[in-house]
Structure 1
Amino acid sequence: MRALLFFVTIFYVNEYVQAVRQIPDDILRGNHTNNWAVLVDTSRFWFNYRHVANVLSIYRSVKRLGIPDSQIILMVADDMACNPRNPRPATVFNHRKQHINVYGDDVEVDYRGYEVTVENFVRLLTGRLFPGTPRSKQLLTDEGSNILVYLTGHGGDGFLKFQDSEEVTSQELADALEQMWQKRRYHEIFFMIDTCQAASMYEKFYSPNILAVASSLVGEDSLSHHVDPAIGVYIIDRYTFHALHFLERVSPDSMKTMGEFLAVCPKQECISTVGVRRDLFPRDPHKVPITDFFGSLRPVELGINYLNVSIALPLTENTIRPVKQEEKYHYAQQFPTHLFQTRAT
């Protein structure tokens, strides 16, 4: 009986594979199987409020687009929500109108305060963590994972500061990504960094399947956007502000592309020059859906065929019903976007 079930199952699987091969190329959006995000703010002290707002804003966007907390690693070097200088405790805002509290009620910080170190960051990427490390502090990716890596803080030519006490160099970061590739820990990476001289951090990359964007070129500063008079400090950086302005108009089933995202902050808006490195990335960014990195919408085939999985012998031509020509391909909504609808920043 088990042998019969095995052969019947093989028949149905083969028929299903034949059906999937008929899916149009624009429906098959990529070969990755899961999405992860590593979001890092490396700065302490009240005057660096904007860096916390930067990372929490990106965190809010990727959650809204479908990446669950279980697949987001959030590293925040300082807790601005609890800072005694904060006139509105338990809140962090990214706009002076204060209409979005990006700290929210459901923020899950995985590495907090002095846990945000170069060592922990490199160990996280490479998977070389100490035994007993909680699952929430692990990047459990595989060769099918697309990873968004977002960094914000203070940097210079070839380095990014952590906690104003140590630095990760561009070579160390490049070697960590190469270890990830050798250990089959990613399929594709989108590397995004908002610091001064940010492009210097991707110059040493040599691993495949990495698309990178930086808020400033070598020799340029990455500038803040505006001050909130009620808080008394700059509350967001220019590049991240314009990136969020774009992301707020993206839905989980959006057809917007990474190519469009790479152009979100022209020089007249950012003042600095946005840098892009695409030589390691084999796909055309203008053909890569933004949800390949900022969301969790994976290739899902709907309406091609339905299969009768019950065991019925003899098999008939009615077992598998082909789709009618007039029926349309579509994606199912996978996240309650309406709960997060608000005015754009």
Structure 2
Amino acid sequence: MFSVHVRLCCILVVVVCVTRSVGVQLPEQFQKSNHTNNWAVLVDTSRFWFNYRHVANVLSIYRSVKRLGIPDSQIILMISDDMACNPRNPRPATIFNNAHEQINVYGDDVEVDYRGYEVSVENFIRLLTGRVPPETPRSKQLLTDEGSNILIYLTGHGGDGFLKFQDSEEVTSQELADALEQMWQKRRYNEIFFIIDTCQASSMYEKFYSPNILATASSLVGEDSLSHHVDAAIGVYIIDRYTYYVLEFLEKVYPDSQKTMSEFLAVCPKSACLSTVGVRRDLFKRDPSNVPITDFFGSVRPVVITTEPIDILDIPKRKKTEHQNKTKVLEKRVYLPQFPMHLVKSST
């Protein structure tokens, strides 16, 4: 009887610990999502040294979503040109997103899935729709399902109704809309948050007709998206204005953040962006002001609670040696801020 009682107590303790450690209690005003997993598709479509800022854009977003919990196994990173290895780069193997060079966003933990000429319109559409060749490795597949929330971020050069890939081909707004419809018909997503930072960016979401898509763009039709600042040591613009203010906002977001998607959509007013940020919410069922930003930038980790007995073995304690008795200071590992702290406004 005593043994059974101990086992039951262990079960209760394990269940309580698991349920408390996973998941954040959201305020009542937040609408609950039906998604069970998060994915991110991050794409830089341009080449050449003078487009350095586009690589910095996508790597900065990549670092932010990783910090907020989306694992590399659920991030598809596509980079057309490797600026870190460009012979014009005065600091080889590095990419910075601000002139203060606070942090190298091309660090050791960056996993690029598509690089160089692999970043093409065909591969991008195949990735979204799941129509990849059979020999495609898992790391290059978007293995989503009907419970997946997907963040899609695109940066590069575009125009009215098209986005250029590699300065040699284009994906049109209609092709993109049809690809998203295929995804919906094949139950490849629950909700999509679509972000695009390019000139005349809003033209790329005008043709969308599939449900559960929230979209935002750095500029309206007829407007250009502008760069933020130059790094004189590198000699090129190193980040775009819209993405700069997006990152400044994301640096103040944590896994337990109560910030909403409506706050994100208002992150760059025209006075800051010098272009008008476009938003399309008619296809999205939920109210963005009641949707936590972590529904797209965070990670969902389902917990399976078991009622079966769990045997906890009594592991004998080892005798401490003189070396082990010495006090050790554990090294605390955290993500460094992407911007110098004096440039990031304090949260209100």
Please give the range of the TM-score, normalised by the shorter of the 2 chains: 0.7 to 0.9
43, 61, 65: which is aligned to 1:62?
65
Deviation at 1:100, TM superposition (A): 1.3
Deviation at 1:24, TM superposition (A): 8.1
Which secondary structure state, in structure 2, belongs to the residue aligned with residue 199 of structure 1? helix
Structure 2 portions without partners, runs of 5+: 1-25, 311-330, 341-348
Deviation at 1:298, TM superposition (A): 5.2
TM-score, scaled relative to structure 1: 0.82
Which residue does the alignment assign to 1:322?
none
247, 251, 254: which is aligned to 2:254?
251
Matched, 1:266 2:275: no
Matched, 1:127 2:122: no
Which secondary structure state, in structure 2, belongs to the residue aligned with residue 235 of structure 1? strand
**Paired amino acid for 2:269:** P
Which residue does the alignment assign to 2:96?
93
Distance 1:308 1:34, change over 3 A: closer
Deviation at 1:341, TM superposition (A): 3.5
Which residue does the alignment assign to 1:234?
237
Matched, 1:183 2:186: yes
Give me the whole-angstrom Cα distance separating, in 1, the residues matched to 2:134 and 2:277: 40
Give a deviation string over 1:52-97, Cα, whole Å, max 9, x none. 0000000000000000000000000000000010011100000000
Matched, 1:339 2:334: yes
**Paired amino acid for 1:342:** P
Distance 1:203 1:28, change over 3 A: closer
Structure 1 portions without partners, runs of 5+: 1-22, 312-335
Give me the whole-angstrom Cα distance separating, in 2, the residues matched to 1:116 and 1:82: 17
Which secondary structure state, in structure 2, belongs to the residue aligned with residue 339 of structure 1? coil
Give me the whole-angstrom Cα distance separating, in 1, the residues matched to 2:306 and 2:241: 51
TM-score, scaled relative to structure 2: 0.81
Distance 1:42 1:307, change over 3 A: closer
Give me the whole-angstrom Cα distance separating, in 1, the residues matched to 2:307 and 2:147: 30
Instruction: Please give the root-mean-square deviation of Cα atoms over the aligned residues, in Å.
Output: 2.3
Cα contact 2:29–2:290 (8 A) shared by 1: no
144, 159, 179: which is aligned to 2:162?
159
Which residue does the alignment assign to 2:44?
41
**Paired amino acid for 2:113:** D
Which residue does the alignment assign to 2:142?
139
Give me the whole-angstrom Cα distance separating, in 1, the residues matched to 2:78 and 2:154: 10
Cα contact 1:190–1:212 (8 A) shared by 2: yes
Which secondary structure state, in structure 2, belongs to the residue aligned with residue 168 of structure 1? strand
Which residue does the alignment assign to 2:113?
110
Aligned positions, number: 297
Give me the whole-angstrom Cα distance separating, in 1, the residues matched to 2:30 and 2:57: 33
Cα contact 1:65–1:337 (8 A) shared by 2: no
Which residue does the alignment assign to 2:226?
223
Same amino acid, percent of matched pairs: 81
Deviation at 1:30, TM superposition (A): 1.5
Matched, 1:30 2:33: yes
Give me the whole-angstrom Cα distance separating, in 2, the residues matched to 1:273 and 1:24: 31
Give a deviation string over 1:254-307, Cα, whole Å, max 9, x none. 111111000000000000000000000010001111010011045779xxxx98
